[in-house]
Structure 1
């Protein structure tokens, strides 16, 4: 029983599971010269891509040729929204299917992105099978490209999302997860991938900055919002460090956080996205803060990243138990009412590699 309580995390049965795979191709000028213009390139390539998707039984696929980054979330209704930098896909894997080509007139993309959204039920149980199908499709597609030697980078993203306060709201049923790493989980299901890969697992928590929070830490008419952000930061750091969680970030600048392994990507930002990089190999304290005293935002994002030492043979269950304990302590410090507030916890697992 002690082993189960330590290495399993009990997540509400109404938690939402998502998986999507992103394949990136960097075409050069020689690649584009095989076509009359970029529009013809994307049209022909998308026709080949969609035909292969039908052949491999992949029913929610998209080709992005406007250099926007896909962001995928669960939703009971299907939406596809574009901003200047992002394409946001909201969908329910059990019901929604689609094929789309996203381009801009007279625009030559630096990257061609192929997005595969998992469909059906039991997403985590079938994740390796889905990954295998995508890999086979990409091998077939490479043979149709003007340059079959063109490198393709694969990024597999999975996440479980749930309300930290689900139990207080009446959702008592839970399911015990070990949350094994993607590489050993896939290998155990005969889905091979190269040993030379990059992986990262982490948690993001979205906290709406409610009227109650603002009134607690700010005075009427304040234009300096640092007391609110400093209170959030202090409470978050204390709650996390008490549970030996040391790879942390607070993003409250209105940007969407992207978490990456520092061995692959470095921290940077643009007008919509805040990329934050962490070193998972070293246990040194890593904290990244992103907020401005004169900018009051609607939502604060807390990020807790797992280290290599958290990736045990049993999985990330022990890590997640510490995360949940820290988040519950954070909620108590901030005096959040579980019946009136929502803290969406999203456990992410990423793995990426170059298709050989």
Structure 2
């Protein structure tokens, strides 16, 4: 039997925790017929939503009515920035609060997205309580919508972010995590999930292509960047193969990776986002490489998804130990100085269902 230590990953104490819940539903003509204009529709439903949120002490909630995808990151200052395809929320859960309705003038949204951002301390320990309060708001909010809205899709997103080389930079303190699956975590805290739900667990690792890497691995006079990307790819595949990590991807096309379950979603991309779909139940190797030989990016993203075989009563600690070992091997190959450069890991846990 594997020892308990194999199922516990030691994460730096300065790791950042985030949780947000995304609720979304499609709009149709029947919905808009209930209001004088799209702008009035967004105003009315957002006002009612924010009233319900205040009653449940949900203090950082945003309604998005311009069909852009929310991206959530930690920051000491609060920002809400938009690109053509994204709405990016930067915030510190300890301090920042806001209720906003985000819309574009004269734009008729195809879908409403509501972002509930967790606030306070100990987000991971209080995740089930936060989910319960959000679920209660969604249930009541749904009763106020036109009858044409049959269901609301709910996605609970949680992630831990840390530097793989935090110890080398003097951050010696760490905490052992078992990283239990969301379903048993929530059940023990009296927050049962619907019987029909799907989970996705994965890690993303970002490595900047620094001047040192470019100098060493891009010979002068060489046309294009195919050799660099192939070397990165081969190094990554070898490191993952040694550790039996079978659902993996490398993204070096200037797009932000989004991971989905292939049983409900397919690979796709737009000008800013790269959707990657894995099947947790399929034990065959699933690898996707997205790069262009004529385009040099600033950052390469590596994605490593867990499968059903990684899910057990103890948690995903063993899976993350394998992820860390693989990425240390990649970093060693590229001679990344641990005391000077960050290799950022984000451990994600998602659960989704229809309410």
Q: State the TM-score bracket (shorter-chain normalisation).
A: over 0.9
- CA separation in 2, counterparts of 1:155 and 1:17? 17
RMSD: 1.2
Partner of 2:299: 299
Instruction: Name stretches of at least 5 consecutive residues in structure 1 with no aligned partner.
Output: none
Q: Which residue of 2 aligns with 1:253?
A: 253
- Structure-1 residue corresponding to 2:128: 128
Instruction: Quote the offset at 1:126 in angstroms.
Output: 0.3
Aligned mates of 2:203, 2:149 — CA distance in 1? 36
Runs of 5+ unmatched residues, structure 2:
none
Corresponding residue number in structure 2 for 1:276:
276
Give matches, 1:258-337, under 5 Å: 258-337=258-337
- Output one character per residue of 1:171-204: Cα deviation in whole Å (capped at 9) or x when no partner: 1111010101111111111102212111100000
Matches within 5 A, 1:212-227: 212-227=212-227
**Shift of the alpha carbon at 1:150?**
2.4
Q: Distance in 2 between matches of 1:69 and 1:90?
A: 14
Q: How many residues align?
A: 355
1:55 corresponds in structure 2 to 55
Q: How far apart, in 2, do the equivalents of 1:109 and 1:191 lie?
A: 32
The structural deviation recorded for 1:4 is 2.7
Output the TM-score relative to the length of structure 1.
Answer: 0.98
CA distance in 1, matches of 2:330, 2:116: 36
Residue in 2 that maps onto 1:189: 189
Distance 1:115 1:204 in 2: 22
Confirm or deny that 1:115 pairs with 2:121.
no
Matches within 5 A, 1:73-222: 73-147=73-147, 150-222=150-222
| Cα offset, 1:106, TM superposition | 1.3
Counterpart CA distance in 2 for 1:223 and 1:99 is 50
1:230 is paired with a residue of what secondary structure? helix
- Residue equivalent to 1:14: 14
CA distance in 1, matches of 2:148, 2:173: 50
Question: How far apart, CA to CA, are the structure 2 residues paired with 1:121 and 1:24?
Answer: 26
| Most deviating of 57-66 and 96-105 | 96-105
Please say if residues 243 and 322 of structure 2, whose CA atoms lie closer than 8 Å, have aligned partners that are also in contact.
Answer: yes
Matched with 2:25 is 25
TM-aligned CA deviation for residue 246 of structure 1: 1.1
